[in-house]
Structure 1
Amino acid sequence: MADKTRKLPGADHPITIAKNPDRVVVKLGDLVLADTRDALSLQESTYPAVQYLPRANVDFTALERTEHTTYCPYKGDAAYYSIMAAGADGENAVWTYEQPYDAVADIRDHVAFYPNKVTIEIIAD
């Protein structure tokens, strides 16, 4: 683990995390996978914002942990879940940083969904 490159967000690669003031609902068809008013919106560099939802607001009975992992030098090691009802299309569709780096510590205990695998509704109050 010590040989992994770590990078800090900065002017060349900014990362901001802010509470999303709106309700965020994640669905697979009619199946609600997550529903929260406590999502965090992570904006990394020029990438689209990613909604991180508290684990407490996610239906983990619909998910299955996988062995897949990835590494981000800004955030750390990501673990993955598959959406069982989606079959092969749902493989590794959900990720989480269980021990994120300090710069993004707010996303600990949150998960994110690939928007091309599910419907992510942001409902303004």
Structure 2
Amino acid sequence: MTAREVKIPGADHPITIEPSTDEIVVTVAGKVVASTRDALVLREADYPPVNYIPVKDVDFGLLERTDQATYCPYKGWAGYYSIPAGGGSSVDAVWRYDEPYDAVAAIKDHVAFYPDRVDSITVRPTA
């Protein structure tokens, strides 16, 4: 991998991470892939908020690591997983920053799901 520009979140591109107060359940093909009350919500600039689920609350037996990788100058390199039970629509459905940059270090050991590549992401308020 070649050197990439590293950017620090700031007023022009804010990123915040905070604990979620919700229970989040992700399903594919009738199987619960993830279920947690310990998610983090990452808000980045004008993008929709993303729930990051701790790896301890993910059934990795349902996932398959792929060769896909993408780079974000604010977060680092992301690796991807597919969910074979979901077929072609669940390819590269999950991403993870194994070594996130310091500004977003809280998302280490967490994964996120593309909502359009899973059957459902149910968010239930717990408070």
> Same fold judged by TM-score > 0.5?
yes
Distance 1:109 1:33, change over 3 A: same
Whole-angstrom distance in 1 between the partners of 2:117 and 2:3: 33
1:116 partner letter: D
Whole-angstrom distance in 2 between the partners of 1:65 and 1:29: 18
| Structure 1 match to 2:97 | 97
Segments of 5+ residues of structure 1 without an aligned counterpart are none
| Structure 2 match to 1:10 | 10
1:54 aligns to 2:54 (yes or no): yes
Whole-angstrom distance in 1 between the partners of 2:114 and 2:46: 17
Whole-angstrom distance in 2 between the partners of 1:76 and 1:91: 21
Aligned length: 125
1:120 partner letter: I
Structure 2 counterparts to residues 1-125 of structure 1, below 5 A: 1=1, 3-118=3-118, 119-125=120-126
TM-score w.r.t. the length of structure 2 is 0.95
Whole-angstrom distance in 1 between the partners of 2:25 and 2:103: 26
Once superposed, what is the RMSD of the aligned Cα atoms?
1.0
TM-score w.r.t. the length of structure 1 is 0.97
User: Over residues 74-125 of structure 1, what are the superposed CA-to-partner deviations in whole Å (9 max), with x where a residue is unaligned?
Assistant: 0000000000101111111100000000000000000000011121111012
Whole-angstrom distance in 1 between the partners of 2:30 and 2:44: 30
Segments of 5+ residues of structure 2 without an aligned counterpart are none
